[in-house]
Amino acid sequence: MYRIVLFVGLDYHDVWIQVCVMDAEGRVLLNRRCVNDWRAIVAMVEQVRPGAMIQVAIEACSGAANLADELIEHTHWSVDVAHPGYVARMKRNPDKHDFGDARMLADLERVGYVPRVWLAPEAVRELRRLVRYRQQRVDEARDARLRIRALLREHRVRSPYRAWSRGWLAWLREEVEVPEQSRWIIGQHLASIERLQQALREVEKRLAEATREDTLVERLLEQPGIGPVTAWTIRAEIGRFDRFRTGKQLARFCAVTPRNASSGCRQADAGLIEAGSRQLRGVLIEAAHRLARYHPRWSALAASLRARGKSGSLVAAAIANRWVRWLYHQMQAEPVAA
């Protein structure tokens, strides 16, 4: 029996949702605001055409994945999560309002042009939160170290020890000749670093427990150049490898491919693409440096690129690009469910 299909665009906000319902001919049947609750959304849509097939598009943002999960679990609707950047570029309209945004999402769903992003399972999203929390603590500790070094430079104080060695820390705590207030500030920074190091140990313990029986993490740890932090980050940000069609597509997702800046007969690159997770790209570049130093295959490639006059940063990016493509095929041998 033929069933009517309705297309729903949801413009997400913390407190409420703008709901636009559109039919197959593009007529707007409803465009109204309701509270941010899946039950309210279902009740509003059901008022339009009870029993209709529903296809939903919701723009990716903080909280949208949780709402999409609830709609899928409780209604079995078809729900697509849309890439916000691509939606904005497709809209090509200087006006920004919720009424128009919800209508745009519904229309894209109707014509099949929603720029879909992967809706990661809750377990993967939780792992991402842990990985990103760890990186936040790393960044805070780095900033504290930089402030200490800046304070020493300000007072033109030089240490006889290598920075951050045990001797240097003992000298910093007991012998450094700086004014009283600066000494107090240094002590506060050192206490912050110790606190952050304890927080890092705790979060890394939780990460190890969360991935103890994760087959994909185990397989990643078997690969050369990958340690626990790299494996946790890859698992959290990539999720699963079999959602990509090619290694090149994965490398582009990881933002380790050059950005094309060609025009006419001129063929050129303009650095790495400015997309994807910077944290993921960071750990991949770090892995590339390790591989260039210790792994024969990648060391040979690094030597070849340096012999052609390539800079160290370009060499690391090239190795990361090719290594990610190689890793894609290694992981595809036995696809692992998320």
Q: What's residue 2's pLDDT?
A: 54
pTM for this prediction: 0.86
Closest to 328 (Cα-Cα) out of 207, 223, 233: 223
pLDDT tens-place string over residues 244-287: 999 999 999 999 888 766 666 665 566 777 777 899 999 999 99
174 band by pLDDT with thresholds 50, 70 and 90: confident
Give Cβ neighbours of residue 321 (< 8 Å, ≥ 6 apart): 251, 256, 257, 258
Structure-block tokens of residue 191: 């206490």
Query: Which is higher by pLDDT, 268 or 68?
Result: 68
Q: Which long-range contacts (CB under 8 A, 24 or more apart) does 53-56 make?
A: 53/3, 53/4, 53/5, 53/6, 53/78, 54/5, 54/6, 54/8, 54/78, 55/5, 55/6, 55/7, 55/8, 55/80, 55/109, 55/110, 56/7, 56/8, 56/9, 56/10, 56/80, 56/109
DSSP state of 60: -
Question: Whole-angstrom Cα distance, residue 234 to residue 244?
Answer: 14
Confidence at residue 16, expressed as pLDDT on a 0 to 100 scale: 93
pLDDT of amino acid 159: 86
State phi, psi for 15 to the nearest 5 degrees: -95, -35
User: Is 268:286 a contact under the CB 8 Å cutoff?
Assistant: no
Q: Kindly indicate the confidence band of residue 91, based on its pLDDT and cuts at 50, 70 and 90.
A: confident
The domain at 5-117 falls in which architecture?
2-Layer Sandwich (3.30)
- pLDDT at site 85: 83
Please report the pLDDT score of residue 318 as a whole number. 93
Domain boundaries of the chain, sorted by first residue: 5-117, 122-210, 215-332
Over 80: is that where the pLDDT of 56 sits? yes
Collect all residues with Cβ–Cβ distance below 8 Å to 174 and sequence separation of at least 6.
none
Radius of gyration of the chain (CA): 25
Please state, as a whole number, how many other Cβ atoms lie within 10 Å of the Cβ of residue 95.
8
Phi (first) and psi of residue 28, to 5 degrees: -80, 115
Counting residues of the chain whose pLDDT is more than 90, the rounded percentage is 77
Provide the 10 A C-beta neighbour count for residue 31: 18
Residue 335 has pLDDT above 50, yes or no: no
Mean pLDDT over residues 316-333, rounded?
91
DSSP string covering 180-232: HHHHHHHHHHHHHHHHHHHHHHHHHHHHHHHTTT-HHHHHHHTSTT--HHHHH
